[in-house]
Amino acid sequence: MSWQSLAACRGLDPDLFFLERSESVTEAKAVCWGCPVRRDCLSYAMAQDDSLAGIWGATTHKQRRLHRRASA
């Protein structure tokens, strides 16, 4: 069983995690913070190139990009 099948977001509306810039990410991040596989999700997102959009592992695209730069 993959980590995705255990994700708290499984079955939720994807629009919640792929928002327009002006929309709040608070609700999406709340789902992520309570997720049992949040770290797996974040690891997956960090392993992707910088084009992966949306909320993954309770982080935004911008937060992941900044973390990659700081880690480089």
| Domain assignments of the chain as residue spans, ordered by start | 3-71
Give the model confidence (pLDDT) of 13-29 as tens digits.
999 999 876 678 899 99
| pLDDT value of position 17 | 93
User: Which residues of the chain, if any, have pLDDT below 50?
Assistant: none
Is residue 63 within 8 A of residue 33, CB to CB? The reply is: no
Judge contact between 28 and 61, C-beta under 8 A: no
Q: Which residues of 31-55 are buried (b: 16+ CB within 10 A; e: fewer)?
A: bbeebebbebbbeebeeeeeeeebb
The pLDDT of residue 22 is 60
> How far is 11 from 16, CA to CA, in rounded Å?
11
- Rounded Cα distance between 16 and 25, Å, is 8
